[in-house]
C-alpha cells in the first residue's frame, strides 16, 4: 500500500510539474507559432494552431535595408562587454570585502546592496544628463557603463558570499608556498568560486540583454539595442504581431542556449552563494 501511495504521489507531482511548465512556456510557444503566420492568419477564427512553416517573417526582418541584425549585434556587444566588466570589477571588490579587514565592512556591504535596490527608472534622467555631458549618448559605451552601474552591486554582494565560504587554510597554504594575494585569488579562490562567477555572469547578461528603459532613453539610431527595436513594432495605428514574434524568437534563443549550458552552475550558485555564516 505504501509503495502504491508513493507511486501515486510521484505521478501527481510530475503531472503538476508538467502543467506548471506548460503554463510557463506557453507564451513562448504562442510567439513561436505566431512567427510563422501571415498577419491574416493571426486573427483567423477559428485559430490556426499549426501553420505552414514559412520563414518569410524572419527573412523580411533580418535582410534588406530594414534588417534588425545591427540591433542584434548591438545587444550582443553591450551584453558581453558589460558582463565582462562587471565580473572583473565585482571579483576584485568582493575579494577585498571578503578577505581583508576593512573598517565598517558590514556597512559598506549593505550600502552596496542598497544601491541595487534602487529602481533604474529613478536615475534615468540624471543618467541621461551625465551621458550627454560626456558625449556618450547613442553610443554602446554609454549603455555598457549604465548596465555596469546597475549590475555591479549585485555581483559584489553575491560573490563576496562565495569567497567567504572558501577555507582560509587553503589560501594560507598558497601564501606559504610563495603566492601573493593576487596569485592566491587567481589560482585558488576564483576556481573554487566558479558557481558564483557563473551565476553573476548569467544574471548580469540577462539583465543587460533584456533591459529596455536605459537603452530607450540613451540611444537613438546608432547604438539601439534589439529590445528597443522590438518596441517599435507597436504604434497608435497597428501592432505588427508577426514581425514582433519573429524577432522575439531570434532574441530569445541566445539566452536559452546560455542558460542550458551553465544551468548546473546557476543551481549551485543560487543554493550555495550569499550565505552568511
Task: Give the model's pLDDT for residue 270.
Answer: 58
In a shared domain, residues 235 and 106: yes
Number of neighbours of residue 133 by Cβ within 10 angstroms: 9
Answer whether residue 197 shows pLDDT above 90: no
Task: Give the model's pLDDT for residue 268.
Answer: 60
How far apart CA 59 and CA 270 sit, in angstroms, is 39
Which residues face 234 on adjacent strands?
A: 239
- Residues 48-61: what's their mean pLDDT? 85
Among residues 58, 86, 101, which one ends one of the domains? 58
CATH number at residue 199: 1.10.3720.10
**Chain-centroid distance, C-alpha 140:** 17
In a shared domain, residues 256 and 120: yes
The SS3 assignment for 101 reads coil
- Is residue 135 domain-resident? yes
- Is residue 21 domain-resident? yes
The three cell numbers of residue 188 are: 585558488
Enclosing domain of residue 94: 59-272
Among residues 18, 38, 58, which one ends one of the domains? 58
Answer whether residue 269 shows pLDDT above 60: no
Among residues 43, 58, 73, which one ends one of the domains? 58
Q: What percent of the chain has pLDDT over 70?
A: 93
- Is residue 172 domain-resident? yes
Residue 234 phi/psi, 5° resolution? Answer: -95, 135
In a shared domain, residues 178 and 204: yes
- Is residue 23 domain-resident? yes
Residues 262/83, Cβ–Cβ less than 8 Å: no
- Is residue 277 domain-resident? no
In a shared domain, residues 77 and 26: no
How far apart CA 71 and CA 84 sit, in angstroms, is 20
Q: Give the confidence band of 276 by pLDDT, cuts at 50, 70, 90.
A: very low
How far apart CA 182 and CA 244 sit, in angstroms, is 48
pLDDT tens readout for residues 35-50: 988 888 888 888 888 8
Mean model confidence pLDDT for the chain? 84
Give the Cα-Cα-Cα angle 167, 171, 175 (nearest 5 degrees): 155
In a shared domain, residues 48 and 148: no
Give the Cα-Cα-Cα angle 257, 198, 207 (nearest 5 degrees): 70
- Is residue 95 domain-resident? yes
Task: Give the model's pLDDT for residue 277.
Answer: 45
Beta strands in the chain (DSSP E): none
pLDDT tens readout for residues 118-151: 888 888 889 999 999 999 998 999 999 999 999 9
- Is residue 104 domain-resident? yes
In a shared domain, residues 39 and 156: no
Query: Which residue, among 228, 208, 182, 229, has the nearest Cα to 67 in the 3D structure?
Result: 229
In a shared domain, residues 70 and 34: no
In a shared domain, residues 161 and 45: no
Crossing angle of helices 140-165 and 263-272, in 10° steps, is 60
In a shared domain, residues 161 and 231: yes
In a shared domain, residues 38 and 119: no
Counted domains in the chain: 2
Residues 189/95, Cβ–Cβ less than 8 Å: yes
How far apart CA 210 and CA 216 sit, in angstroms, is 12
In a shared domain, residues 89 and 111: yes
How far apart CA 192 and CA 277 sit, in angstroms, is 18
pLDDT tens readout for residues 60-113: 888 877 788 999 999 999 999 999 999 999 998 888 888 877 777 777 777 887
**Chain-centroid distance, C-alpha 141:** 18
Query: Which residue, among 230, 169, 155, 254, has the nearest Cα to 197 in the 3D structure?
Result: 155
In a shared domain, residues 48 and 84: no
In whole angstroms, how large is the CA radius of gyration of the chain?
Answer: 23
Answer whether residue 235 shows pLDDT above 90: no
Answer whether residue 273 shows pLDDT above 50: no
Amino acid at each position: 500500500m505504501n509503495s502504491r501511495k508513493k507511486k501515486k504521489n510521484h505521478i501527481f507531482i510530475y503531472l503538476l510539474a508538467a502543467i506548471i511548465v506548460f503554463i510557463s512556456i506557453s507564451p513562448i510557444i504562442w510567439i513561436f507559432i505566431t512567427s510563422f503566420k501571415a498577419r491574416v492568419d493571426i486573427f483567423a477564427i477559428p485559430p490556426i494552431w499549426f501553420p505552414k512553416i514559412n520563414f518569410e517573417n524572419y527573412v523580411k526582418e533580418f535582410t534588406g535595408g530594414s534588417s534588425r541584425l545591427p540591433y542584434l549585434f548591438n545587444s550582443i556587444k553591450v551584453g558581453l562587454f558589460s558582463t565582462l566588466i562587471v565580473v572583473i570589477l565585482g571579483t576584485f571588490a568582493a575579494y577585498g570585502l571578503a578577505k581583508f579587514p576593512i573598517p565598517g565592512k558590514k556597512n559598506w556591504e549593505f550600502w552596496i546592496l542598497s544601491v541595487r535596490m534602487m529602481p533604474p527608472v529613478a536615475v534615468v534622467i540624471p543618467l541621461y544628463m551625465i551621458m550627454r555631458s560626456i558625449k556618450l549618448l547613442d553610443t554602446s559605451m554609454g549603455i555598457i557603463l549604465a548596465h555596469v552601474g546597475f549590475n555591479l552591486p549585485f555581483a559584489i554582494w553575491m560573490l563576496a558570499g562565495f569567497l567567504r565560504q572558501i577555507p582560509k587554510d587553503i589560501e594560507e597554504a598558497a601564501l606559504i608556498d610563495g603566492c601573493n594575494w593576487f596569485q592566491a585569488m587567481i589560482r585558488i579562490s576564483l576556481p573554487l568560486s566558479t558557481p558564483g562567477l557563473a551565476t553573476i555572469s548569467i544574471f548580469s547578461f540577462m539583465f543587460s540583454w533584456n533591459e529596455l528603459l536605459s537603452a530607450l532613453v540613451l540611444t537613438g539610431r546608432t547604438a539601439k539595442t534589439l529590445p528597443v527595436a522590438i518596441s517599435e513594432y507597436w504604434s497608435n495605428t497597428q501592432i505588427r504581431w508577426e514581425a514582433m514574434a519573429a524577432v522575439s524568437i531570434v532574441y530569445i534563443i541566445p539566452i536559452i542556449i546560455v542558460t542550458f549550458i551553465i544551468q548546473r552552475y546557476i543551481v549551485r550558485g543560487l543554493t550555495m552563494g550569499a550565505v552568511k555564516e
